Structure 1
């Protein structure tokens, strides 16, 4: 568990798996919007450390700059053209499922990139700065 950051009793990675598999235990309904709200609150409680670098990582994956926040970057990539017009609050059941799957896939990939290397987070910020330098 070399780079996995612990916040409280569980690592963030372990916590993600718990809310993904048992959302009701955390007062969640399993919707993308509900997960986003929960994760934003979790990140605030962790003083911004849980999702530090996630938006930058998503922008590197997207390959272009954007003013969107991370939840919108996920729906933009998972549901091109759909989520931009209506936002994540108006997703139908199938679109919601796609967005939730993308959320946990992207978070897992991000945590792998951030935590597996000693300087994973530093690498994300360096690559972001190099890619989007003005």
Structure 2
């Protein structure tokens, strides 16, 4: 099953793949799927997030997703401080972002385009 389809199924029926519909469980699941794909599944994801949401390059993709999900709530940027409702919102938002990312990456030269935009973004930061 391709990752886009897998993540769509997981989002619709999380109980088949994890204990709950929390952001933390989703992150663990996604990281596990990425590890099972030699760490290549998420190649370009952090760079895409940085450009899309003008994030901080020092953050992990997990922190970038939280900042994008809760731009007005800095306390939610720390996973340990997420409320149950924020966990659910983060869960849904992560899978929405992954779907958008995989749509772009599946296009002809999609990954190259992601890294070209990222390179231009890095140059603007200097």
TM-score (norm 2): 0.88
* 1:44-83 alignment runs, 5 A limit: 44-80=35-71, 81-83=74-76
Paired positions, count:
122
Q: Residue 7 of structure 1 corresponds to which residue in structure 2?
A: none
Any gaps of 5 or more consecutive residues in structure 1? 1-9
TM-score (norm 1): 0.84
- Aligned partner (choices 57, 82, 90) of residue 99 of structure 1: 90
- Residue deviations 1:35-72, cap 9 Å, x none? 10111111011012211100000000122432111111
User: Is the counterpart of residue 43 in structure 1 residue 34 in structure 2?
Assistant: yes
SS of the residue corresponding to residue 51 of structure 1 reads: coil
- Aligned partner (choices 6, 30, 44) of residue 15 of structure 1: 6
CA contact (8 A) 1:54 1:70 kept: yes
User: Is the counterpart of residue 127 in structure 1 residue 120 in structure 2?
Assistant: no
CA contact (8 A) 2:45 2:61 kept: yes
Distance (whole Å) between structure 2 residues aligned to residue 92 and residue 83 of structure 1 = 8
Any gaps of 5 or more consecutive residues in structure 2? none
What RMSD in Å do the two structures reach over aligned CA positions? Answer: 1.4
